[in-house]
């Protein structure tokens, strides 16, 4: 049914090695907030993709979701149900109608606390879907350093292929960029072969310029991804912040030839917003970044809305959200 040839690639790139700390790279960063807002307005003011093209883009979005549960009342049963949804993110009848039943569509990853890593790894066995563990004293990152490093190692030993670390925001707020570099470098070493996503908690960093500088430092220290938020701050992912971080990714690539991934997280709950992020990535970084190994959404409710939109495309009717449960 889809006219577009929607290709879902799950191959991964080599690890980002980072580079030596270059304070001049940080010092030269200056952000024009007005220019950022004007660029984002071009996304908000245009018509989005429609009909079969929208359906194709939404299928792409599903493949880039880190399906997440980070609640104090998480149970093994809830995590197993979420893993089952990751394996089969869209009802079979909808995929059949879209001509997509045999494409092996899954979400990009499952994201959980360390305590649930083994449960998720077991539930996803044979699927090729990686488990991401939030770590380093998530969400505040204020545990002793050795405790944070030990948590990373424990999650990797339990089978996590991706580690979402949180940075110490105080290093950004005080401009101690060397300390931030050293911290993230230590996290990178503790991750071993697991890919590392550095969570900046952008809503707590004070200014968009500090967000840009923190992004550059984390990439220099070897982050495979940079990520906006824990999802638990009062302000999480936004399009202006995302533009700044994406431009830093482009700048780092031009300086080093190393390609860093991007993950917006928190507050991305509708298909319309997800499409704006995908368009931004395509226009700023290109199609290569529109793959699960280079771009992820950190989300829990987004998948349900996407599935509803896909059913509307197939049937012409919107269904109740409870017809598309997460688990």
Residue 48 has a CB neighbour count (10 Å cut-off) of 14
DSSP 3-state assignment of 22? coil
Q: Which two tokens stand for residue 129?
A: 């879907």
263 counts as catalytic: yes
CB burial readout 209-227, b (16+ within 10 A) else e: ebbbbbbbbbbbbbbbbbb
Of the candidates 210, 227, 259, 305, the residue annotated as catalytic is 227
Of the candidates 197, 210, 259, 263, the residue annotated as catalytic is 263
Q: Which residues contact 260 (CB under 8 A, 6 or more apart)?
A: 16, 219, 223, 224, 225, 226, 249, 252, 253
Of the candidates 66, 164, 224, 305, the residue annotated as catalytic is 164
210 counts as catalytic: no
Do the beta carbons of residue 176 and residue 210 sit within 8 Å? no
272 counts as catalytic: no
Catalytic residues: 164, 227, 263
């Amino acid at each position: 049914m889809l006219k577009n040839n929607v290709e879902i690639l799950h191959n991964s790139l080599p690890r980002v090695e980072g580079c030596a700390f270059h304070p001049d790279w940080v010092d030269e960063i200056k952000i024009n907030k007005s220019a950022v807002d004007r660029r984002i307005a071009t996304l908000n003011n245009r018509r989005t993709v429609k009909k079969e093209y929208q359906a194709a883009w939404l299928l792409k979005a599903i493949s880039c979701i880190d399906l997440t549960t980070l609640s104090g009342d998480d149970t093994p049963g809830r995590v197993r149900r979420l893993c089952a949804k990751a394996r089969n993110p869209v009802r079979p009848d909808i995929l059949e109608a879209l001509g997509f039943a045999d494409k092996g569509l899954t979400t990009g990853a499952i994201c959980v606390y360390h305590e649930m890593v083994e449960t998720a790894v077991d539930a996803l066995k044979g699927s090729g879907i990686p488990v991401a563990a939030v770590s380093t004293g998530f969400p505040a990152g204020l545990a002793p350093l050795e405790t944070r490093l030990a948590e990373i190692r424990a999650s990797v030993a339990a089978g996590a292929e991706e580690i979402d670390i949180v940075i110490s925001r105080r290093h950004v707020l005080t401009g101690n960029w060397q300390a931030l570099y050293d911290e993230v470098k230590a996290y990178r070493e503790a991750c071993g072969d697991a890919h590392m996503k550095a969570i900046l908690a952008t809503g707590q960093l004070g200014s968009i310029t500090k967000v840009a500088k923190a992004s550059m430092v984390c990439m220099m220290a070897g982050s495979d991804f940079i990520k906006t938020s824990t999802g638990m701050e009062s302000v999480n992912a936004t399009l202006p912040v995302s533009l700044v971080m994406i431009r830093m990714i482009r700048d780092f690539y031009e300086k080093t030839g190393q390609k860093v991934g991007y993950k917006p997280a928190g507050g991305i709950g509708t298909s319309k917003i997800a499409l704006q992020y995908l368009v931004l990535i395509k226009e700023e970084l290109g199609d290569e970044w529109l793959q699960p190994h280079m771009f992820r959404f950190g989300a829990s409710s987004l998948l349900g809305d996407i599935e509803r939109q896909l059913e509307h495309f197939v049937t012409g009717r919107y269904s109740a959200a409870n017809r598309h449960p997460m688990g």
